Amino acid sequence: MGKTYLFAPGPTPIPPKVLLAMAKPIIHHRIPQFRMLFKGVLEDLKYVFQTQQPVIVLASSGTGAMEAAVSNLLSPGDKALVVRGGKFGERWAEICKAYGVDPVNIDVEWGKAVDTGLVEEAFEAHPQAKVLMWQASETSTGVRHPTKELAALCQQYGALSVVDGITAIGVFDVPMDEWGLDVVVSGSQKAFMLPPGLAFIAMGERAWEMVQGGRCPRYYFDLEKERKSQEKGDGAYTPAVSMIMGLRASLDLIKDEGLEEVFARHALLARATRESMKALGLELLAPGSPSDAVTAIKVPPGIDGTAMISTLRDKYGITIAGGQSQLKGKIFRISHMGYVSKADILLVVGMVEVVLRELGYAVDLGKGVGRAEGILFSE
């Protein structure tokens, strides 16, 4: 029958209203109608990022905004402290290297949040470090790093905080201005409920000052140039017009629900997912500091993790994610980020039960679903 369901941590499902907005006839971008649309979107992005600072929209996947942060803020030879506890932490370090910036890696066991004591030690050992870079939510391991505490350390040591909030913004509370974060990046295909193709970067005053001194080569991702254009509702180059029409619709959905409600929903869906997996006797990869965007679960001994994921997808039309790099075959990841409801959680938990049983794991069918129902529908 071919019906499919998407529970991967990006791209995430897209609401019909957003799909329809993107299907509208395209308009030209150098006309008042587009400028009004773009200005409104940029204003509402500030609400989602919880900042008064400008949020810049780039036409790229999320990594483009990460690269823009490095290439605009830093100079070859600069030192950058990097929290490296997963695939995306590694990415910060790789981008730094590509630009001749010297990453000082703070290695964290995959599945654990960074110990702030280690970050303090790194600052003490490298007082010249210009920035600390981390993931508010490390999607590859399902970990939430202590962003508020890390931001405070940055202030204490006079470094800029550069936060990958790609699976945090619009998922849980990361108040940029209140916590004094200098740079926050995100992308369209996660909690923004859009296809891949847009990246966002918000920067505070200290970061905009630092951009003036950045000597890395850059052309397309020139944030100063984009800021000046976008202030007027223009892009420096042709903006992704249809994506921005979709973004208008997704921001309307987020505003209608309200940011606090959005966070509360993600927290509830995430808790129900975690508890249901535990009820099945499974172990979480990140029990200590889980992200509300995605839950990473260890594949039980004797079960083929790759077969589990392909059976869910090919036989039942349900896409979840596996592990990356060293976690390949060892974990599976269920996303509950973006356009996800309580009913969706019952569906994915139930189907995980079914497939685990098919592969030979002893499951009491309904045990996980029952636990999820108890949490989701108790009030």
The smaller minimum CB distance to ligand PLP, of residues 95 and 119, is found at 95
Cβ atoms 183, 202 nearer than 8 A: yes
Residues 93, 91: Cα–Cα separation, whole Å: 5
- Nearer Cβ to ligand PLP (78/90): 90
Contacts to ligand PLP from residues 309-368, by CB under 6 A: none
135 belongs to the binding site for ligand PLP (CB under 6 A): yes
Contacts of ligand PLP in 189-208 (CB under 6 A): 196
Instruction: Kindly state the smallest distance separating residue 18's Cβ from ligand PLP, in Å.
Output: 17
Collapsed DSSP state (helix, strand, coil) of residue 162: strand
- 74 and 96 in contact (C-beta within 8 Å)? yes
Number of residues that bind ligand PLP (CB under 6 A): 12
8 Å CB contact between 208 and 89: no
Q: Is 110 in the site for ligand PLP (CB under 6 A)?
A: no
Q: Are residues 80 and 133 in contact, defined by beta-carbon separation less than 8 angstroms?
A: yes
Which is nearer to ligand PLP, 54 or 89 (by Cβ)? Answer: 89
Q: Does 186 bind ligand PLP (CB under 6 A)?
A: no
Q: Is 187 in the site for ligand PLP (CB under 6 A)?
A: yes
Closest by CA to 76, choosing from 95, 99, 105, 92, is: 99
Query: Which of 324, 330, 375 minimizes the C-alpha distance to 349?
Result: 375
Q: In the bound complex, what is the minimum distance in angstroms from residue 162's beta carbon to ligand PLP?
A: 12
Please give the Cα distance from 130 to 162 (Å, whole number): 10
Q: In angstroms, how far is CA 270 from the centroid of its own chain? A: 15
Draw the binding track, 57-86, toward ligand PLP (x: CB under 6 A; -: no contact): ----xxx-----------------------
Q: Is 12 in the site for ligand PLP (CB under 6 A)?
A: no
Residues that bind ligand PLP (CB under 6 A): 10, 61-63, 88, 135, 139, 164, 166-167, 187, 196
